[in-house]
Structure 1
Amino acid sequence: MTLAVPLSPSRQSSVALAAVCLSSLMFGLEISSVPAILPTLEQVLHADFKQLQWIMNAYTIAVTTVLMATGTLADRYGRKRVFLIGIVAFGIASLICGLTQSATVLIVARFLQGMSGGVMLICQVAVLSHQFREGRERGMAFGWWGVIFGIGLGFGPIVGGVIVALSSWEWVFLVHVALSVVTFLLALNGAQESRDPGATHLDLAGILTLSLSVFCLAFFITQGPDLGFSSAAALAILGVAVASFIVFLVAEKLSPRPMFDFSVFRIHAFSGAVIGSAAMNISFWQFMIYLPIWFQAGLGYDSMAAGLALLAYTLPTLAVPPLAERLSLRYRPGLVIPAGLFIIGLGFILMKLGSAAAHASWLTMLPGCLLAGIGLGFTNTPVTNTTTGSVPNERAGMASGIDMSARMISLAVNIALMGFVLVEGVRASLAAALPSDADVLQLRSLAERIASGTALLPTEDVSAAVVHEALTEGFGWVMLYGGIGVWLLAALSFVVFGRGETACSSHE
């Protein structure tokens, strides 16, 4: 007896698309729904501020450590097979997350969940690239993938809040156990097996050195403020990251079949799209973790109202991708992707202005939120379709690995950087408002609690007005960082795409 059921080719493709979309929904939900339950975890698990940070960061850091390795393994052993393994592992890790009553165990389980989530993420793109090869159906498939992925990320805060309100925090994780079973059955029956015939051996040196380098870099940025960026421990971690990356470059140069084929960057469409991948995650996605804090702590909304306000930021990401794919086919990704990135940056600048308004509210934030979401919708699926569509089909696993590595490495790094910018902005505002002899360590501790939304009431030394002004200034710094950062990468992406078109014209 087998679980696989014979299906017609069209039906099989539909089932495969459903499996990919459901796994992308699970992946996104586990990024964006967990911030909504952090206050509950603080009380139930007696987790301190650092443990709460690690409950979030363990997932994204773990994702980054497996991306390129997964692309290589999928090319070698089969994308469907590795996809199925990732789904099973994600379900098991989610079960552990939901059953534990220890913050430490939850952090470890979140790391395992992130690793298996990264496996699913890479295989999603590789499966779609193999199963949908024609321009129109490929655009449709990636459009649906982008919409569902956006739903997972965009509605996560609301889903997390509703689950806690109606049941308990454990179900934020346990729901994925049941979803994993359904996804496994869909993938088993719908996904076609594919592999790279040339992937005859594993690039173990590349897998290990790149994974170690990414992990150490993310750890350095995340823990740097506590260790001290110039401390011996922090510098040692940074040194390991740099040394591992150098060894990785050497290993890839010497390998006859490298995991990370640098020659693909000679394809200007691929390079321009990868820059777009990084740009989205220097601004839009990680700010979704911090924006609910502003709505609740800065504007005074409860969790449900904050979740509803967040829809202005997320709903455009669901409506725009089909239009973006049509525009990419009619015009070219080299225009659509940089334009989308520019709109994201404009949205961040308008959000900064809205947050600094005399009577800031969701209305003053609305124009910026809408524009940022529209820009993301114009960028997300064209980026993925361009990176995988610009390389030979047998290298789809490697291409999706580079694409998702750019996304998740920039996401993990910028979650930490954006948090650092937020705390520093709050700290600078407090330092300007308080006496110059204020204790530095206590000032930073207060800044961290204000930035996380847990210190909004006045203390005996700090008034409520000073606390609110500090939070406003900190978020102003973050929005400016996101806007300028995405504009710089938009310009770079536009230039790289343009060089490719110039080269093509010169050969005509």
Structure 2
Amino acid sequence: MSPSPSSNPLALAAVCLAALMFGLEISSVPVILPALESRLQGDFKDLQWIMNAYTIACTVVLMATGALADRFGRKRVFVLSILAFGLASLLCGLAQDVNLLIAGRALQGLAGGAMLITQVAILSQQFRQGRERSRAFAAWGMVFGIGLGFGPIIGGVILALSSWPWIFLVHGPLALLTLGLALGGVEESRQARAGKLDGAGIVLLSLAVFGLAFLLTQGSSLSRPGAMLMVLATLACCAAFVRAERRSPQPMFEREVLRNRRFCGALLGSMGMNFSFWPFMIYLPIYFHSALGYDSLHSGLALLAYTLPTLVFPPVGERLALRFEPGRVIPLGLSCIGLGFVAMYGASQWAAVNDLAILPGALLAGIGLGITNTPVTNTTTGSVPAERAGMASGIDMSARMISLALNIALMGLILVAGVGAYLQRHLSGVPDAGQVHLWAEQIAAGQGALEGLPWLAGGSAQAALAHGFGWVMLYGGLSVCGLALFSVLTFAPWRRARLGSVS
């Protein structure tokens, strides 16, 4: 049965509201991390897990949800995920303990990942005509971009006018409205021959990602035998995942798709954005708040220089890709992100840093992401046969979420190491390594005035934090430039040009 045209506006509104909620929960929460650290008595590792619980949980369900929705009905799974997201948001808003908030964020991530995948499936199923389909996907992408781009300022405004729980509680009424629109507008659809669920692959991949994130965030607190055991368990999960995928009749990652040069080049673009741009947004509010002295509202406004270009420049990236092909535009966009991070690094290392000096680099990084994102999304799904588009989208989303989760943890590790190196160099006397690491974690969490911190020769806790952020910015710039190089080598656009000239 074809979808009723009268129900399509309601369906599009439901999908767009769901995209808005998902985007807001990624970009608005970083602004309130300093407030959460002080009001819930959480430490630096807790702040990392408040974000990582969401991204890792999203990764867990991304590949599973597609098969479940195909089998049991896309509308049914979409409605259940909206309801679960609203309830999990209420749990987060009512949490009075950091561990309960982390648990709520994990539940939010599970529901959000399911919501994200079913949105794409519903749009593809319900909007089949060319022009209508293009407009629906354009509206969905724009609203998703608004959620990501304006999340920091929305979070800052909510925190300035009210309190941090409303960052989460606002999704209660939004979820109810989305639920009503979905029930009234989304047509039920399912696949006659739904693929089997790769349960072993999903479990093993999730355990491997969790193990890596746990080692990066909690490894310093583990004993040597405990750390070695965790490393061995994580490596065993990685090896078992590879073996399971080779033996599975319907694996999560088909080898044929991974042999496609255009798909792999675009996948490196997906990873590049989440190696640098998006994980760094988790830490930027701490930099603005504790290193530059901004309040929550001004931190949100400053973050607009970082995020607003991601909303404005995707049409530019799409036009460039049509004219020059994605194999050139995606590496170009990644290179812009890298240069933006290098510029931010230079600004952060000035002796008398101006409050606004970091913004040009942040703007350039945002422009780079805006240029990269649309060509990446279009190329990952457009470079494979139609029957594999769902798998390609799932691989793309999984690569993004895994890269994001691991780099949230890795950037935190680099930040603490940079702050610790500064303290080692400037602390008077011979400091104990364990105590220095503890001070470094507290400074990285935004605690500028620490009890028991001795006099810093020629420096301060604020300068130590700026030094640590310099390390993170340099890592972000070098890593994304490296992935830009790998991407252009994978695309090898000169091969296509040579073939075109021969023909």
TM-score (norm 1): 0.90
2-side partners of 1:11 and 1:383: how far apart?
33
2-side partners of 1:435 and 1:80: how far apart?
63
Q: Which residue of 2 aligns with 1:446?
A: 439
Unaligned runs of 5+ in 1: 1-5
One-letter identity of the residue aligned with 2:350:
A
Aligned 1:95-244 pairs, distance under 5 A: 95-131=90-126, 140-227=135-222, 231-244=224-237
The worse-fitting range, judged by mean Cα deviation, of 216-225 and 44-53 is 44-53
Q: Alpha-carbon deviation of 1:159?
A: 2.1
| Alpha-carbon distance change, 87 to 13 in structure 1, aligned in 2, over 3 angstroms | same
One-letter identity of the residue aligned with 1:420:
L
Q: Alpha-carbon deviation of 1:142?
A: 4.4
Q: Does 1:60 align with 2:62?
A: no
Aligned 1:12-411 pairs, distance under 5 A: 12-131=7-126, 140-227=135-222, 231-411=224-404
Q: Does 1:471 align with 2:452?
A: no
Conserved 8 A contact 2:306-2:362: yes
One-letter identity of the residue aligned with 1:323:
V
The worse-fitting range, judged by mean Cα deviation, of 455-464 and 427-436 is 455-464
One-letter identity of the residue aligned with 1:422:
L
| Alpha-carbon distance change, 67 to 90 in structure 1, aligned in 2, over 3 angstroms | same
Q: Does 1:483 align with 2:481?
A: no
One-letter identity of the residue aligned with 1:178:
P
1-side partners of 2:482 and 2:185: how far apart?
41
Conserved 8 A contact 1:146-1:380: no
| Alpha-carbon distance change, 246 to 392 in structure 1, aligned in 2, over 3 angstroms | same
| Alpha-carbon distance change, 374 to 134 in structure 1, aligned in 2, over 3 angstroms | farther
One-letter identity of the residue aligned with 2:153:
I
| Alpha-carbon distance change, 235 to 78 in structure 1, aligned in 2, over 3 angstroms | farther
Residue by residue over 1:439-468, the C-alpha shift from the partner in whole angstroms, topping out at 9 and shown as x without a partner, is 111111111111121125794433683323
Count of residue pairs the alignment pairs up: 501
Q: Alpha-carbon deviation of 1:184?
A: 2.5
One-letter identity of the residue aligned with 2:360:
P
- Secondary structure of the residue that 1:281 maps to in structure 2? helix
Q: Alpha-carbon deviation of 1:86?
A: 1.6
One-letter identity of the residue aligned with 1:24:
A
2-side partners of 1:84 and 1:64: how far apart?
20
Residue by residue over 1:139-176, the C-alpha shift from the partner in whole angstroms, topping out at 9 and shown as x without a partner, is 65444444333332333232223223322322211111
1:462 pairs with 447, 451, 456, which one? 456
Q: Does 1:495 align with 2:489?
A: yes
Conserved 8 A contact 2:428-2:454: no
Q: Alpha-carbon deviation of 1:48?
A: 4.1
Conserved 8 A contact 1:197-1:394: no
Residue by residue over 1:291-316, the C-alpha shift from the partner in whole angstroms, topping out at 9 and shown as x without a partner, is 12222222222222222111111111
Conserved 8 A contact 1:66-1:118: yes
Q: Which residue of 1 aligns with 2:411?
A: 418
**Structure 1 vs Structure 2: percent identity of aligned residues?**
59
Q: Does 1:437 align with 2:457?
A: no
| Alpha-carbon distance change, 43 to 119 in structure 1, aligned in 2, over 3 angstroms | same
1-side partners of 2:384 and 2:14: how far apart?
24
| Alpha-carbon distance change, 217 to 80 in structure 1, aligned in 2, over 3 angstroms | farther
Unaligned runs of 5+ in 2: none
Residue by residue over 1:209-263, the C-alpha shift from the partner in whole angstroms, topping out at 9 and shown as x without a partner, is 22222222222222122226xx222222232222222222222222222232221
One-letter identity of the residue aligned with 1:390:
S
The worse-fitting range, judged by mean Cα deviation, of 233-242 and 281-290 is 233-242
- Secondary structure of the residue that 2:456 maps to in structure 1? coil
Residue by residue over 1:102-139, the C-alpha shift from the partner in whole angstroms, topping out at 9 and shown as x without a partner, is 32222211111111111122223333444556776666
| Alpha-carbon distance change, 344 to 194 in structure 1, aligned in 2, over 3 angstroms | farther
| Alpha-carbon distance change, 16 to 430 in structure 1, aligned in 2, over 3 angstroms | same
The worse-fitting range, judged by mean Cα deviation, of 112-121 and 48-57 is 48-57
1-side partners of 2:458 and 2:117: how far apart?
46
| Alpha-carbon distance change, 354 to 50 in structure 1, aligned in 2, over 3 angstroms | closer
- Secondary structure of the residue that 1:307 maps to in structure 2? helix
Conserved 8 A contact 1:213-1:245: yes
Conserved 8 A contact 1:341-1:376: yes
One-letter identity of the residue aligned with 1:483:
G
Q: Which residue of 2 aligns with 1:3?
A: none
One-letter identity of the residue aligned with 1:328:
A
Residue by residue over 1:40-73, the C-alpha shift from the partner in whole angstroms, topping out at 9 and shown as x without a partner, is 3344434344433332322222222222222333
2-side partners of 1:485 and 1:472: how far apart?
20
| Alpha-carbon distance change, 236 to 178 in structure 1, aligned in 2, over 3 angstroms | same
| Alpha-carbon distance change, 432 to 444 in structure 1, aligned in 2, over 3 angstroms | same
Residue by residue over 1:313-338, the C-alpha shift from the partner in whole angstroms, topping out at 9 and shown as x without a partner, is 11111111122223323332212211
| Alpha-carbon distance change, 295 to 468 in structure 1, aligned in 2, over 3 angstroms | same
Conserved 8 A contact 1:76-1:202: no
1-side partners of 2:458 and 2:67: how far apart?
53
| Alpha-carbon distance change, 238 to 17 in structure 1, aligned in 2, over 3 angstroms | farther
1-side partners of 2:73 and 2:391: how far apart?
12
Q: Alpha-carbon deviation of 1:501?
A: 5.5
Conserved 8 A contact 2:275-2:404: yes
One-letter identity of the residue aligned with 1:30:
E
One-letter identity of the residue aligned with 1:485:
S
Residue by residue over 1:11-58, the C-alpha shift from the partner in whole angstroms, topping out at 9 and shown as x without a partner, is 655444433332222122222322333343344434344433332322
The worse-fitting range, judged by mean Cα deviation, of 190-199 and 13-22 is 190-199
| Alpha-carbon distance change, 46 to 468 in structure 1, aligned in 2, over 3 angstroms | closer
2:499 pairs with 480, 483, 505, which one? 505
Conserved 8 A contact 2:245-2:251: yes
Residue by residue over 1:171-226, the C-alpha shift from the partner in whole angstroms, topping out at 9 and shown as x without a partner, is 21111111112223333444455555543422222222222222222222221222
TM-score (norm 2): 0.91
